[in-house]
Amino acid sequence: MSRYLTPGKIALLVLVELYAESRFPNKAVLPVISFVIKQLVRPKDTTTFILGLDQIKDVTVNEPSTVVGRTIFDLLLMELWYINSFDALHTFFTDAQIYLRDPEKQEPSSGHVKHNKRRFISPTSILGCFIRRAGLEFSKLQFHETNSLWGAFVQFREPTLSLWKKRKLGAGPMSFDVNLKGMTMNDLLVQKVYGKLDGSKDWTVSTDDVERLLEYQVETMQRLGTRVPDETQLQLRKMLSTDVPISHLRHYVNFLNSWRSGDYPSSFDSLHRYFDYTMHSRDRTFYQYALLNLAILQADFGCHRESVLAMQETINTARENKDMACLNFALSWLYHFHRAHPQDCPDVIASRMERESLQFLKAKAKEWGMDHLLSMAYLSEARQILLGGDSVPAAFESLLRSSHINVTHQIHNAQGSQILLQSTLWSRLGVSQLAWLNCELFLSKYDNGSPSEDLVVALCRSAYIISMRGRFDEALDRLEQVDQEALRSLKIYQYWASYIGLIKLRRAVYRNEFAAAELLLQQLTSSEQVEPDCALEISIAKIELQMRTGNFVAAMLHCNQVSGELVRDRADSYHKVRLMILKAEVFARSGRAMKGLSTAISAASMAWKARFLPVLFYAFNVIATILIQLEEYSVAYKMLDSIMPQVLECEDAYLTAQCFACLADGQVGLAGTRKGVSRAECLGRALSFIDRAFSEYSHIQDVYSQKLMMSRKIRIQDYLGDKALRDDAVKMYRQVEQGREGVNPGPSPFRH
């Protein structure tokens, strides 16, 4: 068990000495020294933990030294083999300290002249710290530890013997220790002292290395929200197999890992274990962090009440200890939690949350200079505005503020939430192209160093937008491109899987594959942890399914139930409005148009107020449908006609198709009130609308609606008496019907 020193570190120290002795030409200084420093500072990737001679060789073997014909690797080898006994190792460490001396302070002495090429290393530089630390750690070693280090070093150097033999005449298998001159490997004495070395892995890895690896791992996991990659797991296992004492940080890594993989008992256990050890070593100052972790853990596993209690305790402890960073974080978390799960918050908290709202958080964040928190607070503000359906410019202002902070303070991991929120905003404004662009932008430009959760969310959102345009296969393909590493985290996987399920569900519903749809629906609703956006879409798909199967009662019931839940949870007003419209649509489709009218109109006015444009268009569509049922054809037509350009901009294939169908209905209705040429004109327009609706429906593969459109077309052509065209349409109808063989064809549209 080594605390710090390993044979690799000795080799590094030799390199530093060579550098200090000015044995590197200028050209070689940069690559070699940056390699050395990379091993000493905070790790950036996983390659710098177990340092082998091969790695050093790769860097140094091509670098010429100031000695003609020798590479730096040759010099390194020479220095390494000059450490030819236990005592020489000891001397080596003692001598290394001389490079640290400050040249100004040194009194001129006679031995000074020959070292005029020596460069001195400042004791506070990275290299200086390394030299000092190495010296200190060496002098801290007990004799037997030093002996183990020496043994490990002998083994470490062993593979280079053949190279060394070429350079040095008379070097043999026993030249690793000068005391063994004239003996062979089979000598009793050699066996005794060095016999146990073979295959021993002691001291090849130090606690310092393990800690560096674990710290790096924790940092990555916390930043990116992923699990431990297999490669790192392997390295860690390799390190731990060398009898190195396990750092308690290991438990924290275990905790994060099992948390991400959704293993509640073991994450709970690991967290407790970790803090058992930290309590011991770092006093009680970290109690609040233990509680904080616990609260988040419990929330993640759905123990909301427990979680709130733990968080309250966190806040109290943080207040006691005056740990503002923790306190603010906890408050912010509680605020979000309160927003997300108001039903689980005790009244005390809820009322406090009302008081200590965002303003408080913002003020605190500003006061303590916590930029990250401030940026998040602005984002929350924007989100809140969106949820409440308030002023869009205000939302943009908050977004901009957050973005400004992110950019000026280089807060990379807040970038994701900000861009995603922006994308949501655009899609609510009905500019789906921009929303999609935002997601893609984030995916392509910020994929480095962003939390994988944000990345997956962006991917899902982007795929969903594509699927809205009717390109289901492309959307599913896009989803398959997800980083498999990210999916190892349970929460992310669930999110991703629910989006795949949702897209497949919608496709199944449109294709009239009811059995498949039912199955998918069952799977989707069985998982508890579904994000609200997704949950709403699933509900909508369910209602749609129920309507298509003609089960209007169930659809209505479900509609009422969901809207009731939304009201209870004080949920997103966007969701509420969607539900209202859906309700109106159920009424309209079930033939009770009048009942739905007021609901649709109030929904439309709400949507307009909040500028939920796609929803507004849906509402218009429903209203138009109702008006047509009420035989107010011209009003319905005019109303829809005026919004059509914007509807097209929304790029929602289903909405567009429905609008076109509605327009056709309006024209047909108008034709009923007119005579002669004007009637024919109306019918002609209706036909063209039907064609466009048909093409949109065929995008989303909505078989039933396609057939519906064709049947209407057939009837109109029939009325117009154009047999050839009618037959064409009939052929088309048959094609549509046959194209979906084995699929429930649904009720025949001719029944209506």
Query: Alpha-carbon dihedral of residues 253, 255, 256, 261, nearest 10 degrees?
Result: 120
State in angstroms the smallest separation of the CB of 127 from another protein. 25
Q: Nearest to residue 542, comparing CAs of 523, 529, 564, 569?
A: 523
DSSP 530: -
* CA-based nearest residue to 395, from 383, 377, 403: 383
Nearest distance, CB of residue 193 and another protein, angstroms: 5
We find the least distance from the C-beta atom of residue 143 to another protein, in angstroms, to be 5
Nearer to another protein, 191 or 598 (CB): 191
The residue (of 149 and 228) whose beta carbon lies closer to another protein is: 149
Nearer to another protein, 94 or 605 (CB): 94
**573: part of which helix (H) or strand (E)?**
helix 573-589
Decide whether 180 or 657 has the Cβ nearer to another protein: 180
**For another protein, which is the closer residue by CB, 194 or 442?**
194
Site for another protein in 172-191 (CB under 8 A): 177-179, 187-189, 191
Residue 309: C-alpha distances to residues 271, 288, 314, 333 (Å): 17, 13, 9, 13
For another protein, the closer CB: 84 or 384: 84
Closest to another protein by CB, 84 or 316: 84
Is 271:255 a contact under the CB 8 Å cutoff? yes
**Is the C-alpha dihedral spanning 622, 623, 624, 625 positive or negative?**
positive
Among 94, 391, 605, 642, binds another protein (CB under 8 A): 94
Q: Select 162 or 186, whichever has its Cβ closest to another protein.
A: 186
Q: CB nearer to another protein: give 243 or 276.
A: 243
Instruction: Convert residues 678-717 into a mask of x (bound to another protein by CB under 8 A) and - (unbound).
Output: ----------------------------------------
Query: Smallest distance, Å, CB 90 to another protein?
Result: 6
Span 271-310, contacts to another protein by CB under 8 A: none
Name the one range near another protein by CB under 8 A: 87-95, 167-175, 390-398, 433-441.
87-95
Query: Is 126 or 190 the residue whose CB approaches another protein more closely?
Result: 190
- Neighbouring CB atoms inside 10 A of 170's CB total 6
For residues 596 and 411, the answer to whether their CB atoms sit within 8 Å is no
In the complex, minimum distance from the CB of residue 164 to another protein, in angstroms, rounded to a whole number = 19
| Residue whose CB is less far from another protein, 197 or 387 | 197
Q: Across the chain, how many H-helices and E-strands are there?
A: 36, 0
86 vs 252, beta carbon nearer another protein: 86
Give the whole-angstrom CA distance, residue 730 versus residue 718.
10
* Residue among 176 and 436 whose Cβ is closer to another protein: 176
* Least Cβ distance, residue 85 to another protein (angstroms): 4
CB of residue 493 to another protein, shortest distance in Å: 53
Write down the least CB distance from residue 138 to another protein, Å: 11
Give the nearest distance from C-beta 97 to another protein in angstroms.
13
Which part of the chain contacts another protein (CB under 8 A), choosing from 143-151, 209-217, 271-279, 307-315? 143-151
Instruction: Find the shortest distance in angstroms from Cβ 194 to another protein.
Output: 9
CA proximity to 364, closest of 349, 374, 355: 374
Q: Which residue has the tokens 């060398």?
A: 242
CB 498 within 8 A of CB 537: no
Report the candidate in 534, 526, 529, 459 with the shortest Cα–Cα distance to residue 494. 529
Which of 49, 86, 130, 252 touches another protein by CB under 8 A? 86
In the complex, minimum distance from the CB of residue 173 to another protein, in angstroms, rounded to a whole number: 17
Burial label, 623 (beta-carbon count in 10 A; 0-12, 13-18, 19+) = buried
Per residue in 711-746, is it b (16+ CB within 10 Å) or e — as a string? Answer: bbbbebbeeeeeeebbeebbebbeebbeebeebbeb
Element at 400 (helix H, strand E): helix 392-409
Angle subtended by helix axes 347-355 and 324-340, to nearest 10: 110
The DSSP code sequence of 196-228 is T-TT--TTSSBHHHHHHHHHHHHHHHHHH----
Secondary structure of residue 465 in the 3-state scheme: helix
Q: Which one, 85 or 207, has the nearer CB to another protein?
A: 85
Query: In terms of CB distance, is 86 or 442 closer to another protein?
Result: 86
Burial class (CB in 10 A: 0-12, 13-18, 19+), 244: buried
**Least separation, in Å, of the C-beta of 250 and another protein?**
29
Distance of CA 629 to the CA centre of its chain: 48
CB 176, min distance to another protein, A:
12
Among 98, 174, 193, 429, binds another protein (CB under 8 A): 193
Residue 133 CB, shortest distance to another protein, in Å, is: 18
Shortest reach from residue 182's CB to another protein, in Å: 10
Least distance from C-beta 64 to another protein, angstroms? 33
The minimum distance between CB 130 and another protein, in angstroms, equals: 22
- Find the part of the chain contacting another protein (CB under 8 A) among 142-150, 323-331, 343-351, 356-364: 142-150
How many chain residues are in contact with another protein, going by CB under 8 A?
Answer: 22
302 in the Ramachandran plot: left (φ > 0), alpha (ψ -120 to 50) or beta? left
What is the rounded CA–CA span in Å between residue 649 and residue 697? Answer: 17
Asked if 139 touches another protein (CB under 8 A), the answer is: yes
Coil, helix or strand at residue 84: coil
d(CA 488, CA 483): 10
Q: Which two tokens stand for residue 671?
A: 């034709």
Q: Which helix (H) or strand (E) holds 150?
A: helix 143-157
Q: Tell me, letter by letter, the H, E, C secondary structure of 576-594.
A: HHHHHHHHHHHHHHCCCHH
Region of 43-51, 144-152, 308-316, 555-563 interacting with another protein (CB under 8 A)? 144-152
Binding another protein (rule: CB under 8 A), the pick from 37, 50, 88, 303 is: 88
The residue among 185 and 594 lying less far from another protein, judged by its C-beta, is 185
Alpha-helical (H) ranges within 431-572 are: 432-445, 452-468, 472-480, 490-510, 514-526, 532-548, 552-568
Cβ proximity to another protein, 86 vs 587, nearer residue: 86
Closest approach of another protein to the CB of residue 144, in Å: 5
Site string for another protein, 470-489 (x = CB under 8 A): --------------------
Residues 558-617 that bind another protein (CB under 8 A): none
Which one of residues 101, 166, 196, 305 is an interface residue with another protein (CB under 8 A)?
196
Examine residue 192 and tell whether it contacts another protein (CB under 8 A). Answer: yes
- Among 79-87, 222-230, 587-595, 624-632, the segment contacting another protein (CB under 8 A): 79-87
Question: How is residue 101 annotated by DSSP?
Answer: S
Alpha-carbon span 610 to 604, nearest angstrom = 10
From 35, 92, 150, 333, residue interacting with another protein (rule: CB under 8 A) = 150
Per-position DSSP letters for 2-17, written without gaps between them: BSS--HHHHHHHHHHH
- Which among 87, 88, 90, 115 is positioned nearest to 101, based on CA atoms? 115
Of the pair 191, 408, the CB lying nearest another protein is at 191
Q: Where along the sequence are the contacts to another protein (CB under 8 A)?
A: 84-88, 90, 94, 139, 143-144, 147, 150, 177-179, 187-189, 191-193, 196
